[in-house]
Structure formats: structure tokens, C-alpha cells
Chains A and B, each alone.
Chain A
Amino acid sequence: MAALDRVKVLVLGDSGVGKSSLVHLLCHNQVLGNPSWTVGCSVDVRIHDYKEGTPEEKTYYIELWDVGGSVGSATSVKSTRAVFYNLLNGIILVHDLTNKKSSQNLYRWSLEALNRDVAPTGVLVTNGDYDREQFADNQIPLLVIGTKLDQIPEAKRNEVLTRTAFLAEDFNAEEINLDCTNPRYLAAGSSNAVKLSRFFDKVIEKRYFLKDGNHQIPGFSERKRFGGGALKSLHYD
């Protein structure tokens, strides 16, 4: 059974938004009883059925790498974190619906993870500004998850949900809003569960079933190297 294929998905976000609770919920279908600070990186595994219900159904391991920390850390901390960004196949961006700053920091988180290949010392080459084109061309699937939905009063919900819809659109990603202490948000058959399943399927597709059969996922670096062409990269490992 250990011969199942695997994909690696990063879970990024500010500290305290609920990444560890989310990962626990995704992998064990249970609520995390005693959340505590994540030091370094914690990994968990979810078994996912690709194309469930069809004849091509296949089971994969999805490794969820929960990297902790603050987006404004010192350069040395960022270069330590960068060791976890190797060979990633998908990113889940987590933000706290009750804290606007955590949503704004998602841009910097995604840039930090996606730019990792450009400068191996971990120093960001871009000036951190958001560039929509980069995200449009990005080949690594993204998913935006908002947590602590239960702490938003009913009156404010619409306003918050419109804001997060814009956010997800900027990343060219789907979005899910939930409360990590309540498993019913991800109950089988709910729209959230369908979106999650679709996201994982997309990640597996990009990893294993690219049209020209190569395994390299082009991040920003490939685009820059080939002068912004729309071609997928043609070089082999």
C-alpha cells in the first residue's frame, strides 16, 4: 500500500488562523482537541480517491505540509522555511475571516512560496507587489480557505463573503469558508467537499497527467526564463 503515488500540498497562512486545525480536520475527519503552536513544519497525510466514482478511480496520498510562522520574519527565518517549498504541487492559502490583515498577507505568502525557485538563497526578487499576470499564468493550483466563520455575526456575513470572493478571484482560485471546529462544513456531498475534491483532483492531474508527459511543474521561474511565453516548459529533469 505504500506504493501509492503521492503529491505535496503546502498549507500557508499567518499564525493563529487555524492551519493545524484545518489539516487535522482534512486528514482525520475529526476536530483537533488541543491546538498549540506549530514549530517548524508539521506534515499530515490524506488518502484521496482521484476521479471517485468513475472507472479511472485511483487512490493517492496527499501530503499536507503545514508551515508555520510570520510573513514578515527576518530573512534568515524565510530561508530556513524555504527548504520546505521544494517540489510542491499545490498550495492551500488559509486566512482568518475575522482578521483582515491575515487575508492581505496571503499575497506575500503566495509570492514567498512560488518565487522560491528563482533565488535559491531565499531572498525575494520581486518587490512584493501583487501582479495579477503572475497569478494568471501560474501552474500550481491554489485554494483559498477562510476559517472561523462561526465567529462572524450574521449581519456582517455578506460583506465578509464578498470581500473573500474578490480575494479568491485575484488568486484565480476556488474558495471555501468554514469553521474548523465543526466537521459538518466538509460533510460528504456538501458543496465545500466537492470543491475540495476538485482541487485535489486538479493537483493530481497537474502532477501526473500533463499533456506532454513531463513531470516538472513550471512556477514563476520557468515563465521568466522563457521570456513570458505561454508554452509549457520543454526541458526534462
Chain B
Amino acid sequence: MSFLIDSSIMVTSQVLFFGFGWLFFMRKLFKDYEVRQYVVQVIFSVTFAFSCTMFELIIFEILGVLNSSSRYFHWKLNLCVILLILVFMVPFYIGYFVVSNIRLLHRQKLLFACVLWLTFMYFFWKLGDPFPILSPKHGILSIEQLISRVGVIGVTLMALLSGFGAVNCPYTYMSYFLRNVTEADILALERRLLQTMDMIVSKKKRIAVAHRTMFQRGEVHNKPTGFWGMIKSVTTSVGGSENLALIQQEVDALEELSQQLFLETADLHATKERIEYSRTFQGKYFNFLGYFFSIYCVWKIFMATINIVFDRVGKTDPVTRGIEITVNYLGIQFDVKFWSQHISFILVGIIIVTSIRGLLITLTKFFYAISSSKSSNVIVLLLAQIMGMYFVSSVLLIRMSMPLEYRTIITEVLGELQFNFYHRWFDVIFLVSALSSILFLYLAHKQAPEKHMAL
């Protein structure tokens, strides 16, 4: 009886998450496109719903809601479904939509989609070889095999995003890094841009007029082809067409210049807007947060280095350690069990919510930047795949932040994975990503004022 109640609660929450994913897709991701293939929207929402359900189960685990056996059952069920989606459905549909975009292969869409999927499976399987992620006693087609590989990809993604985010966040928040941009700078640059456009226009006019006179005189205006054509072009008005080719080259160069100038102007406008924003209250608040986050970022890099250098894996989670410190060193006595449960609930809850929100925002920005009307379906499915893998690996890594009594269910459900490997791998990639982002931002920041001075 209680199993039915628990299941109905789980199903209701899944439907809610599905609805949220659907709305997000419609309102945010696809707001400039028309949804013609509803399959894409359904897959995206389903992936989102099942990923969120996993987080929900963790929270239920901490709070002790629902029957323990039904929780275990739903964990297994959820995991199977998510793996099915991430390894079978989404890659297949990605292959299918990629093939639909290529006109040549239209007839045999399904066949080529299957071929692509088999290639994906091959590389996916090969991924597990160089990593010591499994104990050898498990069979070929078990959950552990699939999860371990999904975990590797997901953890790499998490660490990359995390490293870049940790460095980029203080860089964007703090106004210390804002270059000084005045109205005069912008006007000067805009004037240059319009001058370049005018030059392009006048050259194009000359080309257009030349073409028209040639057309009216009844001459051929494509390039002379063949042997006789070449000989003929030597004697007839070769001066005109050579001149045109030269002007066309100048036009191409000017167009490149105008694109550069346009991007620089857009950059200056954006910086000016940020300067104005930093003068408001919100801006000042974010500036303060930026200082705080930069300290946090430095600390994380430091800890990652220590972990790698000293080959250390943290045994206890922050909650228990914090409680230990307060009890032993500060002498404050309180009900350890009660508080550890609530504090870990809050901590884990915050981690989950911020990571979901952060990922959705990053995905949206990415989608706007690179999608076009042809490739929107493929890109959304790729994003759904990334999102699913990201959330699965979050579950893997979140195990570290929970006290021992709550870790058991994850260990039980996910089987015998080498969790320590994943944490080490996360630290390595995080370090690499953070350091290269620092280098990259430093170079970009250095280069911009120089360009600016050259005006």
C-alpha cells in the first residue's frame, strides 16, 4: 500500500518536472524558432524530468521521506531509464537529424542513422579502456559499465565548466577589470565604421556600373574559359576585367575590416553598459560578491593542487567535519544527528539548485550563440545529452558532500564504481581548466586595450 502512495508521489513530481522542462524549452530555448518536430521537445523534457527526479531522490534520502525499499526501487528504475535515454535514444535521434539535414542521404535516413549510432557506441565503449574505473568482476552489459563511462564524460564536462566558471565569475563581477570607455571612443569608432561602409558602397557602385555597361554592350561578363577564350581576352578589353578583379579584392578586404570594426563597436557598447550597471546598487552588490568569489576560486585551485600533489582523497564530508570542529574546538554542544541531517539537506539542496540553474543558463547562452534554423534540432539534442550526463555525474560527485549514513544508497545503486578515481579526475581537469582560463582571460584582457589605443 505504501509503495503505491510513494510511487504516485514520484510520478506526480516527475510530471511536474516534465512540464517545467517543456515550458523552459518553449519559452527560452526555442523562442525564435518554430517547433516542427515535437519529438525533440519531448526528449528534452523527459531527460530533464528524469535527471531532476534523481536529485529529488537524494533529498528524500536525507530527509527520510518515503519508504526505504520504494526509494531503492525508484532509484534503480530511474537510473535504468536515464541510461536508456542517454545511451540509446538521444544519440540515435542526433544521428537521425544530422542525416536529415544532408540532402544526399534523404532516402536511407534510418539506415544511416543506425550506422552513426553504431559508430557512437563503438567509441563510447572504447572510452572505458584507459581508465581504471571498474573492478573486473562485472559482466559486459551491466549498469556499472554504462554508468562508469557516462560518469567519465560527465565529470570531465563538470570540471571544465566549473574551472572556467570559477575564474570567469569574479572577472565578470568585479569592476576592477572594466576598461574605461567614453562616449567619444564609441563615436570615433562608429565614424570609422560608417566611413568603411561608404568606401565599400562606392567600390561596389563602380563594379555594378562596369557590369551594366558590359552587359549593355552585349559582352560576356563571366571569365573567359577555354583556350580560344584566353586568346580572345588578350586582344579585347582585358583592362576592364582586370581592373574589376582588383576592385573586388579591395572590396573583400574592406568587408573584413568592417566586420572587425562592427565587433569592436559592439564590444565597446557592451563595456559601456556594464560600467553604467556597476554604478547601480545591484552592480555594487555583484562587485562585492566578485571579491568573495575570487577568494573562493583561489582556495579551490589551491585545494585541487594539494589533493593531486599529496594524493589525498577526503574521507569525511564538510558537514561532519564542520560539526566536529564546532563540537571539539569550540565546545558548543548540540544534537549532532538532528543538525547534521538538516545542514546536509540545506547544503546539498543549494548545490543541486545552483548547478541546475547554472547549467540551464550556460546551455541557453550556448544555444543562442551557435544555433541556426537548420541545426537547431541537432543542437538542442546535443544539449539534452550534455545535460543528462552532467546531472548523472553530479549525483556521483555529490556523494562526497553527504554524511556516511546517506551515502549508502548511492553506493548501493550505482554499484562498485571507483569513486575516488572520479574525484581525482575532477580535480585534475578542474585545475587544467582553471589555469587555462586564467591564461586565456589574461591574454584577451591584455590585447583589448592595445587595440583600443591604436585607434
Chain A interface (Cβ within 8 Å of chain B)? 1-2, 4, 14-17, 27, 37, 39-47, 61, 63, 70-72, 74-77, 79-80, 83-84, 86, 96, 98-102, 105
Contacts and interface: CB of A to CB of B under 8 A. Distances in A.
Interface stretch (B59-67, B129-137, B196-204): B196-204
A63 B258 contact: no
B208 A46 contact: yes
Nearest to B212: A47
Contacts of B204: 43-45
B252 to A, nearest CB: 11
Interface of B: 31-34, 190, 193-194, 197, 200-202, 204-206, 208-209, 212, 255, 258-259, 261-263, 265-266, 269-270, 272-273, 368, 372-374
B37 to A, nearest CB: 13
Contacts of A17: 373
Nearest to B374: A16
B259 A40 contact: yes
A101 B197 contact: no
A72 B265 CA distance: 19
B197 to A, nearest CB: 6
A217 B343 CA distance: 67
B206 A70 contact: no
Nearest to B272: A76
Contacts of A1: 205-206, 209
A237 to B, nearest CB: 18
Contacts of B202: 2
B193 A83 contact: yes
Given A40-B262, A80-B266, A2 B205 contact: yes
A180 to B, nearest CB: 14
Contacts of A101: 31-34
Contacts of A46: 208
Nearest to B259: A39
A14 B32 contact: yes
B201 A45 contact: yes
A43 B251 CA distance: 11
Nearest to A39: B259
14 contacts: A1-B205, A1-B209, A16-B373, A27-B208, A63-B201, A71-B32, A76-B270, A80-B262, A80-B269, A83-B190, A84-B197, A98-B34, A99-B373, A101-B34
A4 B208 CA distance: 12
Contacts of B272: 76
Contacts, number: 84
Nearest to A17: B373
Contacts of B205: 1-2, 4, 45, 61
Contacts of A72: 31-32
B364 to A, nearest CB: 12
Given A39-B259, A47-B212, A16 B372 contact: yes
A79 B269 contact: yes
Given A39-B263, A40-B259, A72-B31, A83 B194 contact: yes
Which has the most chain B C-beta neighbours within 10 Å: A17, A39, A83, A101?
A83
Contacts of B373: 15-17, 96, 99
A176 B40 CA distance: 33
A80 B258 CA distance: 13
Contacts of A76: 266, 269-270, 272-273
Nearest to A37: B372
Contacts of A74: 270, 273
Contacts of B206: 1-2
A78 to B, nearest CB: 9
Contacts of A15: 372-373
Given A47-B212, A80-B262, A42 B255 contact: yes
A4 B212 CA distance: 14
A99 B34 contact: yes
A229 B204 CA distance: 40
Q: Which of A2, A16, A42, A96 has the most CB of B within 10 A?
A: A16
Nearest to B262: A40
Top 4 A-B residue pairs of the complex, sorted by shortest distance between their CB atoms: A40-B262, A16-B373, A76-B269, A76-B270
A200 to B, nearest CB: 15
B245 to A, nearest CB: 16
B385 to A, nearest CB: 23
A83 B33 CA distance: 27
A1 B210 CA distance: 10
A14 B368 CA distance: 13
Contacts of B263: 39-40
Nearest to A78: B269
